Structure formats: C-alpha cells, structure tokens
Amino acid sequence: MPRKNNQKLTKSKIEPCFGCGASVPKKNGPTHEYIGASAGCWELFGELLAKEYEEYNNPPAHRLTVDTYAAQHPGSPSKKSIQSVAIHLTGLHLMLDLNYEAHRATQLLNQAAESSQEYHWLEPPQSLGSLTILDVQDAENIKEHTDRVHIWAHTVWQAWQSHHEQIRAWTELLR
C-alpha cells in the first residue's frame, strides 16, 4: 500500500487533534467509541498499527504504541474510558518503570480488564506531552520505530506524573 506523501498532506486541511493536539488532517471519518481522538489522528493511528503488523511483524513495541496512544487520548469520563485510561497507564508503568516485557504486561493487563477492580477517573493533565504520533509515524525501520515509540511513551507517562502514585497502587493490586 503506498503511504501518503507529505506534500499531499500539507495541501489538505489540518486541525489539532482534540486529544493529543497534533496537527492532523481534518477528516469526517470514524473515531473510537471512547478513546478521545479526532478522526484524522485516529486514521494515523490505524496506519501506524498496520505498519507494525505488516512491516514489522507485530514487534514488542506494539504494546507500548497502543498504551501510549490510549493514554494520550483519555477522552471524557465514562465507565469504559475510566477503565481504559487506568489500564493503559498501568501498561506504561509496567513496561517503563518495572521493565515488564510486552507479553507479560499484556497478560497482567488482560487480567486487569477482566477483574472487578474499581477504577476511578483520573483527571488528565493540562499537557499530555510534547510528542505525538506525528513524531513516530515516519520512522524508517524497526530500530528507529522502537526508539521513537519508547521516547513518546516516556513523555506521555511523565505527563501523567500527578497520578503515578494511584497507578502504582492499582498495579500492586494486580501483581
């Protein structure tokens, strides 16, 4: 599948994603039920996931990509978004602070999703970090992709710092 070239992109209308603030193509396409992303950003995420599957054969960084993107697009409070934000932030904590490998983190996060653990809404910070999917999407190989996803993940996790203690507490209940 040919990738969009940048020239074409600059000619189309741009708007800031209401979740991450990235300048993304203005679209009327589908969005996610509770992940708070503009249609243009959601489409870029779909393309990034496709790239991970098709070009990189579902690399370990995939888990981090998903958790980072979801944590950067918390949406508005609802039963599903509350659990989503809590679980994806737990994923970032497991992998970035506790050095969990992706598959082990996934096991624990699946367990978390099925548990009756009560989560509550974490008020998103004013800024969700200076890096976005735009800083990751143009990586030219798996090494560069993995490096960029890690840096992006760290900045998003750092942005949620005021809630780290709560995430650590929820994580401890799972381990």
Nearer to Zn ion, 17 or 92 (CB): 17
User: Which is closer to Zn ion, CB of 74 or CB of 108?
Assistant: 74
Q: Residues 61, 146: contact at Cβ < 8 Å?
A: yes
Q: What does the angle CA 121 – CA 127 – CA 133 come to, to the nearest 5 degrees?
A: 100
How far apart CA 137 and CA 113 sit, in angstroms, is 28
Least Å distance, CB 21 to Zn ion, is 7
Query: What is the rounded distance in angstroms from the CA atom of residue 109 to the CA atom of residue 83?
Result: 11
Cα-Cα-Cα-Cα torsion 18, 147, 151, 94, nearest 10 degrees, comes to: 100
Residues that bind Zn ion (CB under 5 A): 17, 19-20, 37, 41
Question: Quick one: 41 or 112, whose CB is closer to Zn ion?
Answer: 41
CB of 88 to Zn ion, least distance (A): 14
Least distance (Å) between residue 132 CB and Zn ion: 6
What is the closest distance, in whole angstroms, from the C-beta atom of residue 72 to Zn ion in the complex? 7
Cβ distance to Zn ion smaller for residue 45 or 119: 45
